[in-house]
Structure 1
Amino acid sequence: MNLPEQAMIIEVGPRDGLQNEKSFVPTEIKKEFIGQLKKAGIKEMELTSFVSPKWVPQMKDASEVVEASLGGGRDIVLAPNKKGIQRVYGTSCKAVAVFVGVSSTFNKKNINKTTEEAVTDLEPIISELKEKNYFVRACISTAFYCPYEGKINPESTVSLCQRFVGMGVDELSVADTIGMANPKNSFELFSKLKSSLGEVLLTAHFHDTRKMALANILASLQAGVDRFDASAGGLGGCPFAPGATGNVATEDVVYMLENMGVSTGINLDELVSAIDIVKPHVTRTIETGYYRLAHAIEQ
């Protein structure tokens, strides 16, 4: 079996995991959650989003969360447009995520732009960020399936990723936004991406809608991917993608990888403690495999 010695987990719980929560998670809890995730060994993390509080009220405390949480690794914030980028410039954060869907219908529903319009708008933003020495992560949504258009042509995903590489992004996070991909899809797409994108960091982002996320991660490992987005407690789900449930749970990914001899540098006990911090403040029931097991053993 083709396995790397190490894999990097990019924790997206504080941003992608919480953005869809209807109840506001107190700012101090977010800070404590992030701090404990770092204590667990997380080295790369999406902290928050600089988006309109009207559309995503959960992220209205973005500036405060960022300034209290920086340090100890690569801290990333999502900023989807010029207004968000200007807010990032007012902080000490030096890593930014932008996003676009492969599907134009998804983009129209989400940001009221076609894919082409969205990419055109992002080009000068990315250029400016790189001139200012920011790390730029491009999140590619609906890379496999779209809730409106169905199956996405893999060549469309590859072509879009190549355009972002041409703009100079540092990382591509390629997402199975509604959790419809299977291991064959994952192996084939990530094999194509690995062979066509050069040295850019390539990260796989899976949702566990149909309980296929771990299988898709294993298939991606076989294709040469060693970076994975995950969310502590399996929190998350895109508010603009009908049918999208939680992200793959960080604790389940870490448990699987470590038991296959792939080092993540993450302490599972400390990770469970991080989930315990945020659990009382979210509406989603946290019942991922490893989290349930850890508490069953305690009892």
Structure 2
Amino acid sequence: MRIKKVFNNNVALVEGPNRSEIIVIGKGLAYQKIPGENIDPSRIEKTFVMETNELSERLSTLLSEIPPKHLELTDQIIRYAVKDLNTSFSNNIYLALTDHISYAVTRSTQGLGLKNALLWEIQKFYPKEYHTAMHALHLIEKETGVKLPVDEAGFIAMHFVNGQQDGQEMEQTLMVTQMVQEILNIVTLHYGIELDEETLNYSRFVTHLKYFSYRTMRHESIPSEDDELYEQVIAKYPEAFACSEKVRAYLREEYQVETTEGEMVYFMLHIRRVTSRD
């Protein structure tokens, strides 16, 4: 692999197959190297092959503007997250998360904090990702000496969530989180009770709401195939139907989404279970 640009002793941009550009990381792999020389493949610990040339150029540009060690730090965080969450991420997360962490560290040193308006929801809906993100804050402090606030753990957690969604945009992920919370608020207010977040029924309901929200953003829905079942569920659980109608009205007003009878059946059944005190 021929070097195109050296960022520091451990990070370089090299030319890959078909003249593609690849970011490589490895201890000392670019030490005393200059463009045009070759990299020892045995020293490469991590390669970044972005999904498009545009993303590759953006990562290269980013590394020219920030300390390259921030990419190494991000790589360390992501490797930990992969093991801790037992998942995999799109390579695109390296660009987004490196940019975020570098900017967060810079802001913090300037005394500029950024409040996370969805921190509570993130802690509740994505506890595993949030827990992993808290560890990321410890790694950031260890490597940079900068102690970031817990708000940043929320932002980093959403990068983990987003990175598992096959390149899905962060804005969409945040919108899904907000939609789930609003629907839960409707249920809570309708019944005048606090939902037990420790129950399996609550967990199932939240999972359903997440997938429903993602389907909504993709303009997908569960078709209405059984009118008789729909009527039976309404008759059996009228209160759950009344609550579901409020959810339907909210989705229509806020997102211009028409909820199918098939979706309504699932809403009624989940709402009945999550609010039942039997």
Q: Into which bin does the TM-score normalised by the smaller protein fall? A: under 0.3
Tell me which structure has the larger Cα radius of gyration.
Answer: 2
* Bigger share in helix: 2
Relative contact order higher in (CA < 8 Å, ≥ 6 apart): 1
**TM-score normalised according to structure 2 size:** 0.25
Larger strand proportion of the pair: 1
What is the TM-score with the length of structure 1 in the denominator?
Answer: 0.24
